[in-house]
Amino acid sequence: LITLHAAKGLEFDHVFMAGMIEGLLPHFHSSNDSASLEEERRLTYVGITRARKSLSLMHYATRTVRGEKLSAIPSRFLAEIPANQLKSVTAKAEKVISKEALSDALDSLMDDLFS
C-alpha cells in the first residue's frame, strides 16, 4: 500500500488504484482549479505508469462519509483513457466482514510479506 506521491520512480508488477471517484481523484479541492486539476491528472498518470503487468482502476457506486451513505461518481480521469485500453468488470461485494476479521486478515498478510 503506497500513496501516489510516494510511488514516483517505482514500478510494481500489479497496481491497484482504488477510489477512482470524483472528490478523491481528483480531490474535491482541485476540481475547480485548472493548475491543481492538472497536478491530480499527473499523479493519476504516475500511478498508472507504475504497473508492469496489470493495472486495476477501481471505483464504487456509494461511499460512507461520517456515517452518511453518499453516491459516488467515477473519476473524470477514467473517461480520458481510450475505451479500447480498458476492460470493464463489475463486481459486487457479496459479504461484509467485521473490522476484527479484516484486521486479522491484514495482520496475517503483513506477517506473510515481512517474515
- For residue 17 the three cell numbers come to 488504484
21-51: buried (b, 16+ CB within 10 Å) or exposed (e) per residue? Answer: bbbebbeeebeeeeeebeebbebbebbeebb
- 60 confidence band (pLDDT: 50, 70, 90): confident
The predicted pLDDT at position 19 comes to: 87
- 93 confidence band (pLDDT: 50, 70, 90): low
Q: What are phi and psi of 77, to 5 degrees?
A: -65, -30
Segment 63-78 mean pLDDT: 88
Give SS3 for 47.
Answer: helix
